[in-house]
Structure 1
Amino acid sequence: MNISRWLLYIFGLLWLVPLLWMTVTAFRPKQIALSPSFSLEFTLANFEKVWEAAPFAQYYLNTVIIVVGVFAVQMVTATMAAFAFARLDFRFKSAVFMLFLVQIMVPADVLIFPNYNVLKDLSLLDTKLGVMMPYFASAFGIFLLRQTFKTLPPELDEAAVMEGYTKWQVLWKIYFPLSRPAYIAFGLVSVSYHWNNFLWPLIVTNSVENRPLTVGLAIFAQSFEIGAQWTEVSAATLLVIVPLLAGFLLFQRQFMNSFIQSGIK
């Protein structure tokens, strides 16, 4: 047990090294950024230059709209599907659920070409809706919520029906509040995935008005004016990842508890 714990500490430290290096570099003056000597000299000039050199405010707005929009639709579709698989009886339920599980094993990149053709036919290329649409349903979210719903006692349904609740009211007034940890975990997974999603937005978007942070960061880092100036690149990268780190640190306990309760390892 002690060996496993020390291995976790070692791997955690290895994961922290590049993050700490990037953070220190982002706050150091350019002339001493790559110097091996220790210095207490720090500055915010790198962040000011980055914010003025690229439209990061627009990139932030685009990313928030995409992430929130995708999660809002996913929460509705995944909740309704999970409730159906957990509590309702219908023909071929097991077969349909297995099809949803198969979708988890299909890499999203495999579907880029057909999804692109569909958006082209719908005239949704270079739009925020075009970036969001392929992710409106989540097989992982359905599986996670189904497992959580199945842990709730069926007697709650019977009591609610005796009180005159419809299935819709049972879902949103009983199952939804009692499954809060699972929703937090699903939200963190969904938000982190779509916040970091790069390839699909890169292919679909062409304008600043629809480009998310990841694509904007890549263009900024490869621009001729920036080149290999590590202080600006580190500052821009820190601007992109700080919201995710803060969210995970804030909800990490609920995140772990939801997977433990759902039986997912």
Structure 2
Amino acid sequence: MNRTHAPAVIYRHTWFDTLAAWLLALCWILPLAYAVWTAFHPSEYATRFDLTAPWTLQNFRHAWEAAPFARYFLNTTLLVTIILLAQLVLSTLAAFAFARYDFRGKNIAFALVLVQLMIMPDILLVENYQTMARLGLVDTLLAIGLPYFASAFAIFLLRQTFMGIPKELDEAARVEGASTLQILWRVYVPLAKPVYTAFALVSVSFHWNNFLWPLIITNSVESRPLTVGLQVFSSVEQGVDWSTITAATLMTSAPLLVGFILFQRQFVQSFMRAGIK
């Protein structure tokens, strides 16, 4: 008996795809190239391109001395680390409960989690500030991170991943005498490593670059992250020194850029395995 099969559809790249990719690459690289050029040249060459312009590191030195960057880097590193750890722990427990337990109001609770994905964080600025003020946490690193400790995005990703893990693994682990937490830690977490990696990249990148909420909730250098510290360079009475600003911006974004360059293959593989688009 002859069977007819539908021909496989193979996508072929065209010149239009290549052109579009180059245009998108230029849109991304040109601002970065301008920032690098301006940061490594004196301020008088910030608005004109001159191949004979001298290269200098003075802008980075001036930016480092104009603001307490060491403190800003420490605050930002602590902030993104604390937020990420809290998100991973809380989201793992919540996702496991949604994926493997049946309880009253489960669907309603998960629907509320999905609704949170549709709410912009900026809408909750006033309510979050009032909450932090009542708790006495204004102008602290904890106040910056506390509203982000629970991540609906992480709960959704991990719940979908945990639901795809066969329940027979749970039963086999219980036969071996494993407790619920041991099953979660030894079975589910290792199988979801690509999802954890992908979410960690999103979380660290977002909170490293977050500006509005830290600006509102902090008042002193002791609790400000890098993004808020950059505003120091835009309030110069004599005018804006673009060379110093770009130098400070490159120092702020350098960890993320270096991390992406070094681990870009792992980045892509994590997103592909996690199914994030």
TM-score normalised according to structure 2 size: 0.89
* Displacement of 1:99: 1.0
Q: Select the residue among 240, 244, 255 that pairs with 2:252.
A: 240
Q: Secondary structure at the match of 1:256?
A: helix
Q: Residue by residue, what CA displacement relative to the aligned partner does 1:35-86 show, whole Å, maximum 9, x if unpaired?
A: 3222373221111111111111111111111111111111100111111112
Residue 150 of structure 2 corresponds to residue 122 of structure 1:
no
Quote the RMSD (CA, aligned, Å).
1.7
State the match for 1:62 in structure 2: 75
Counterpart CA distance in 2 for 1:89 and 1:251 is 39
Report 1:64-103 matches (<5 A): 64-103=77-116
What letter corresponds to residue 208 of structure 1 in structure 2?
V
177, 186, 192: which one aligns with 2:199: 186
Structure 1 unaligned runs (5+)? none
Question: What amino acid is aligned across from residue 170 of structure 1 in structure 2?
Answer: I
Structure 1 residues 61 and 40: CA distance shift in structure 2, 3 A: same
Does 1:250 find its partner at 2:262? Answer: yes
Match of 1:264 in 2: 276
Tell me how far apart the structure 1 counterparts of residues 166 and 266 of structure 2 sit (CA, whole Å): 21
1:229 aligns with 2:247: no
Three-state SS of the structure 1 residue aligned to 2:54 is: coil
Partners of 2:124 and 2:32 in 1: CA distance: 32
Mapped partners of 1:184, 1:198: distance in 2: 24
Segments of 5+ residues of structure 2 without an aligned counterpart are 1-12
Match for 2:175: what amino acid? M
The percent of aligned pairs where both chains have the same amino acid is 52
* Distance of 1:35 and 1:5 partners within structure 2: 31
- 1:105 paired with 2:118, answer yes
Counterpart in 2 of 1:45? 58
Amino acid across the alignment from 1:54: A
Deviation at 1:8, TM superposition (A): 2.3
Q: What residue identity is the alignment partner of 2:245? A: V
Residues 198, 274 of structure 2: 8 Å contact kept: no
Separation in 2 of the partners of 1:198 and 1:161?
A: 46
Deviations 1:202-255 (A, max 9, x none): 111000000111110012232336x32111010000011111122233343343
Residue 95 of structure 1: CA displacement? 2.1
Instruction: Look up the SS of the partner of 1:209 in the other structure.
Output: helix
